Amino acid sequence: METLSQIIKTKPDLISSLKKGEIIEARFIEKNLRAAFFEIPKISTGIIYGKELLNAKNIIKSLKQGDVINAKIVNTENDEGYIELSLTEIDKQKSWLALKEIQEKDESIKIKITSINKGGLMGPLYDLNAFLPLSQLSTEHYPKISDQNQEKILEELNKFIGQELEVKIINLNPKTNKLIVSEKEILNKDIKELIQQYKVGDITVGIVSGLANFGAFIRFADNPEIEGLIHISELSHGLIDSPKDIISVGDTVKAKIVDIKNNKISLSLKVFQADPWKDIEQQYKTGDKVKGEIYKFNPFGAFIKLSKEIIGLIHISEFGGPEEMRSQIELGKNYDFVIDSLKAEEKRIILKLVKNA
């Protein structure tokens, strides 16, 4: 058997187009316990061994001497001078090409869910593993869990195992073996047309259809097929821990459309509420002494509730560190503070603790 090194010396023109990843025809020669050998006509000898031999054992078992088969070049020359080949990569490459064509045509495809994790759902497309992220589920299927309880989310996702979902391919990369699909990209044309009836600034009435930690889903009363989202930041001018602090599933609410993008409607509830920060400088001034309740600790300090809707901040540098802060102030207790700075346009009040002598 003539190796690639010998071919390069005697017939360099024959290997000029040889490239890694190329699909070529290879004629089966023989197989032993360590490897299978193939003739690459007019070029050299190919070899399949190691993990590739194990993966392709069923294919090779069916071959007879002289049979021609397509193979993929994984190495143009190994240490022994052979061209390393792969048979199993051929089927995968065909799958990648088929899925790429589906993506380019913007067609949908069905995926059967076989497993889950906290990030989403998984299942095979052809012989490749596809991932459907939680964020790419349709509004109908998205777990409407009002807290961050991962067990509840997994419990909801577990219901999809064995089900078929219609999806579109949104990210396909054979080099990184990445195949990401989306269910929410499948949107009925009629719904798209219904969404076009609305514009930013419209006021609508809807029913709260679900709650998640980031906001509330609202099903439009006049078009129940449409569901919008009120982000948690648009529920109230005040700082809230969860949407359920403001509304509940089944509530009827009036909301204003603040954005329509990619067939998604964003709504606001707080636009109908008086903005407590509008006249804040008439109520508070830099240097004022105020009383506030310790509302919440965070890595950079503590939030101080000055009123129902006005929250101030005392920076952790005022104490020296987290332990010192927690030793001087306690959650739920009231303390005296001085307003160090007030920026109404940024809705920010910075406080300093009044320490008893």
Identical fold at 91-182 and 189-272?
yes
**pLDDT reported for residue 17:** 59
Report CA-CA distances (Å) from 222 to 24, 291, 299, 314, 357.
60, 47, 44, 46, 63
Q: How far apart are CA 346 and CA 306, in angstroms?
A: 17
* Mean pLDDT estimate for the chain: 86
For domain 91-182, give the fold: OB fold (Dihydrolipoamide Acetyltransferase, E2P) (2.40.50)
Q: CATH: 3.40.50.970, 1.20.1440.230, 3.30.450.20, 2.40.50.140. Which one for 280-353?
A: 2.40.50.140
The parts of the chain modelled with pLDDT lower than 70 are 1-17, 145-149, 188-190, 356-357
Nearest to 70 by CA among 93, 100, 54, 96: 93
Q: Which residues have CB under 8 Å from 250's CB, separation 6+?
A: 207, 208
Burial label for 73, CB within 10 Å (0-12, 13-18, 19+), is: buried
pLDDT digits (tens, 9 = 90+) for 190-236: 688 889 899 999 999 999 988 888 899 999 999 888 889 999 999 98
**pLDDT reported for residue 7:** 46
Burial label for 268, CB within 10 Å (0-12, 13-18, 19+), is: middle
**pLDDT reported for residue 15:** 47
Residue 201 half-sphere exposure, CB side, CA atoms within 13 Å?
Answer: 1
179 beta partners: 172
Report CA-CA distances (Å) from 350 to 13, 175, 275, 302, 303.
76, 50, 19, 10, 10
> Residues 37, 39, 42, CA angle at the centre, nearest 5°?
155
Rounded to whole angstroms, the maximal C-alpha distance in the chain is 97
Dihedral sign computed on CA atoms, order 220, 226, 232, 234: negative
* Structural domain spans, the chain: 4-86, 91-182, 189-272, 280-353
pLDDT digits (tens, 9 = 90+) for 134-188: 888 887 788 876 555 678 888 888 999 999 999 999 999 887 889 999 988 887 6
For domain 189-272, give the fold: OB fold (Dihydrolipoamide Acetyltransferase, E2P) (2.40.50)
Which CATH homologous superfamily contains domain 4-86?
Nucleic acid-binding proteins (2.40.50.140)
Q: How far apart are CA 259 and CA 265, in angstroms?
A: 6
